[in-house]
C-alpha cells in the first residue's frame, strides 16, 4: 500500500511516486551519485529524476510535530465547534450529482465533496488510534501488536510537579522508548544490505564536555559525497544517538551515497543529571563547526542538517544560531521532519485551538501533550526561554529566518505537532526562504523514520527525498 503525500511549493515528483508515495524538491543541477549497481533499496536518485508539480498545502491535513517522548500511556481531547474548523484548499474530491459524465454537465451544476472536515478528537473526543480511520494499515497492525493503539492514561506528573518526580517520569519514558525501539521489527523481506563503514569521533564542546560523533560512509564509494549531519529526536531530552532505530536510519541514508554524521548531543535528561537549554544546542553547533572544518578529511561537499521531532528543533535552532553568529557558510540545506518547536504543550485548550489545533485533534495518538510538557520543564526549567526562537523556533520572526539556506519541512497527518511544522513552513515562505513542505497522510509522529517495517513506502520515500534534496543544493 502506497503512502499519500501532499506537497507545498514548487516541487518535483519522482517517477516512482505511485510506488513510493514520494514527492520531492526541485533540482537546480544534476550532481554525482553512488553507482546504480550499489544503490540501496531506498534508491539514491539524480536531481534530474524529479518532475515538476505544484500543490497547495492543506491546512487541516498538514502536519507538524513533536518528539517520541511519550511513555506508552497517554490521552485526552475534546471536540471543536464547526465554526472553528479551518478550510482545506486544493484537496477536494469531485462528486457528480447524478450518473451524468462530467463533460456533459456545466461546472455550475457539479457538486464537490471537500476533505475539509473535523478529524480525530475534534470530531470525536473518544477516538483512539485503533478507531481513527485515517491511520495507515501497517501502523494499525504494529500499534495493536505493541498495545499502543488505544488511549493511555495521562502521566502522573506535570510540569508543576517536583523536579525529582518529573525526572523520574522522564527517565521511565526514556527506558520505555528505548525498549520499544529495540523491539520494533525493522527488516524488509528479502532485504540485502550493502556494507557501511563506521567510525566514532569525539569533539570537545563549549563547556569542556565530550560530544560523540558517529560517522557512516558507504563502503567502497570513492570521491567527495554530500554530508548529512543527523540530530536525533526525543524532545531534546531522551533517547540515545546510537540506538537501533537511529543507527539504521543513519546507515540507510549513508547507503544512498552520503556521509552521515550523527551527533550525540547532551540530552536535557540523563541518569547523571540534567542539561537544560542551551546545552544540547551548543553541542549541535560545535558538531557542525567540526564537520565544516573537516570537509576535506571527511571527503564531503555540501552539508545538510537533518533531524526529526526534537532533533528537528535542534536543526532549525542550529541554523538560526549560525545566522546570528555569521556562520551560515557551514550549512547548505536543512531538512526538518515533524518538528517539535512550540513548547506550547501546556497551553490552554482555547489557545491550542486558535493557533495549533492538531494538539487537540491528535493528542494521545502515540504521543500526548501533557508528557511533552514535562519535557519542556526539563529543557527550560524556569520558562525564561519560552519565546526564545533558539529554544523554540516557532517564535522566530521573518527577520530571524530571512537569508537562510533552502529548507524542507515534513509533517504527519496524525501527529499532535503537525500544525507547528506547517506554521514554520509558512514563516519561511513569507520570508522568501526556498522551502518545500510535505504532508504524510495516515502517519503518526515520526512514523516514516521510526517504523521502518510498518510503513516501508513512507520510509523509503523519506530517505530518497533527503538524498534528492542534497543533490539540488
Separation of alpha carbons 265 and 305, rounded Å: 14
How is 408-429 classified by DSSP, letter by letter? Answer: EEEEETT-TTHHHHHHHHHHHH
In this structure, what C-alpha cell is assigned to residue 165? 518526580
Residue 26 clears pLDDT 60, i.e. is over it:
no
Q: What is the pLDDT of residue 217?
A: 98
Which tens digit of pLDDT belongs to each residue from 116-158?
Answer: 578 999 999 999 999 999 999 999 999 999 999 997 667 899 9
Residue 93 clears pLDDT 60, i.e. is over it:
no
Q: Is the distance from CB of 14 to CB of 44 less than 8 angstroms?
A: no
Which tens digit of pLDDT belongs to each residue from 318-360?
Answer: 999 999 999 999 999 999 999 999 999 999 999 999 999 999 9
Q: What is the pLDDT of residue 4?
A: 61
Q: Within 13 Å of residue 110, how many CA atoms lie on the same side as its CB? A: 16
- For residue 205, whether the previous peptide bond is cis, meaning omega lies within 30 degrees of 0, is no
Length of the chain measured in residues: 473
Residue 23 clears pLDDT 80, i.e. is over it:
no
The pLDDT confidence band at residue 5, using thresholds 50, 70 and 90, is low
Residue 115 clears pLDDT 60, i.e. is over it:
no
> Coil, strand, or helix at residue 59?
coil
Which tens digit of pLDDT belongs to each residue from 177-225?
Answer: 999 999 999 999 989 899 999 999 999 999 999 999 999 999 999 889 9
Q: What is the pLDDT of residue 222?
A: 86
Separation of alpha carbons 377 and 161, rounded Å: 10
Tell me which H or E stretch contains 314: helix 310-324
Tell me which H or E stretch contains 94: strand 93-95
Please state which of the four CATH numbers 2.60.120.10, 3.40.50.970, 1.10.3720.10, 3.40.50.1820 is assigned to the domain occupying 1-80+118-473. Answer: 3.40.50.1820
Separation of alpha carbons 178 and 27, rounded Å: 37
Amino acid at each position: 500500500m502506497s503512502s499519500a503525500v501532499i506537497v507545498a511549493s514548487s516541487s518535483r515528483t519522482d517517477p516512482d511516486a505511485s510506488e513510493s508515495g514520494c514527492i520531492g524538491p526541485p533540482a537546480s543541477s544534476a550532481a554525482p551519485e553512488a553507482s546504480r549497481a550499489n544503490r540501496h533499496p531506498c534508491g539514491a536518485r539524480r536531481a534530474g529524476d524529479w518532475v515538476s508539480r505544484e500543490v497547495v498545502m492543506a491546512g487541516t491535513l498538514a502536519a507538524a510535530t513533536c518528539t517520541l517522548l511519550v511513555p506508552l500511556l497517554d490521552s485526552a481531547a475534546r471536540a471543536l465547534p464547526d465554526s472553528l474548523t479551518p478550510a482545506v484548499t486544493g484537496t477536494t474530491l469531485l462528486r457528480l450529482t447524478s450518473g451524468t459524465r462530467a463533460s456533459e454537465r456545466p461546472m455550475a451544476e457539479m457538486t464537490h465533496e471537500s476533505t475539509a472536515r473535523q478529524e480525530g478528537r475534534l470530531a470525536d473526543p473518544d477516538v483512539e488510534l485503533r478507531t481513527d480511520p485515517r491511520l495507515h494499515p501497517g501502523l494499525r497492525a504494529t500499534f495493536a501488536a505493541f498495545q499502543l493503539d488505544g488511549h493511555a492514561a495521562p502521566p502522573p506528573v506535570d510540569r508543576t510537579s517536583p523536579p525529582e518526580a518529573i525526572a523520574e517520569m522522564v527517565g521511565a519514558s526514556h527506558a520505555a522508548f528505548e525498549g520499544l525501539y529495540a523491539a520494533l521489527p525493522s527488516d524488509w523481506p528479502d532485504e540485502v544490505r550493502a556494507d557501511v563503514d563506521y567510525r566514532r569521533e569525539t569533539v570537545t564542546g563549549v563547556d569542556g564536555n565530550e560530544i560523540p560523533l558517529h560517522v557512516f560512509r558507504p563502503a567502497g564509494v570513492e570521491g567527495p559525497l554530500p554530508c548529512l549531519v543527523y540530530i536525533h529526536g526525543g524532545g531534546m531530552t531522551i533517547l540515545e544517538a546510537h540506538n537501533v532505530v537511529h543507527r539504521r536510519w543513519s546507515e540507510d541514508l549513508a547507503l544512498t551515497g552520503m556521509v552521515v554524521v550523527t551527533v550525540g548531543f547532551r540530552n536535557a535528561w540523563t541518569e547523571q543529571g540534567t542539561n537544560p537549554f542551551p546545552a544540547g544546542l551548543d553541542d549541535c553547533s560545535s558538531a557542525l563547526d567540526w564537520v565544516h572544518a573537516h570537509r576535506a578529511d571527511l571527503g564531503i561537499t555540501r552539508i545538510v542538517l537533518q533531524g526529526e521531532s526534537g532533533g528537528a528543533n535542534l536543526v532549525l535552532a542550529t541554523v538560526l544560531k549560525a545566522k546570528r553568529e555569521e556562520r551560515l557558510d557551514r550549512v547548505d540545506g536543512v531538512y526538518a521532519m515533524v518538528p517539535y518547536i512550540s513548547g506550547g504543550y501546556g497551553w490552554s485548550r482555547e489557545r491550542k485551538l486558535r493557533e495549533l489545533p492538531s494538539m487537540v485533534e491528535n493528542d494521545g495518538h502515540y504521543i500526548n501533550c501533557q508528557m511533552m510538557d514535562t519535557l519542556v520543564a526539563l529543557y527550560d526549567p524556569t520558562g525564561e526561554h519560552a519565546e526564545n526562537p533558539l529554544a523554540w523556533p516557532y517564535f522566530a520572526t521573518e527577520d530571524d529566518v530571512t537569508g537562510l539556506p533552502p529548507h524542507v519541512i515534513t509533517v504527519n497527518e496524525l501527529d499532535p505537532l503537525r500544525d507547528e511544522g506547517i506554521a514554520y513552513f509558512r514563516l519561511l515562505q513569507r520570508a522568501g526562504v526556498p522551502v518545500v513542505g510535505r504532508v504524510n497522510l495516515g502517519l503518526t509522529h515520526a512514523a516514516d523514520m521510526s517504523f521502518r517495517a510498518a510503513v516501508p513506502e513512507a520510509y523509503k520515500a523519506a530517505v530518497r527525498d533527503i538524498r534528492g534534496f542534497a543533490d539540488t543544493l
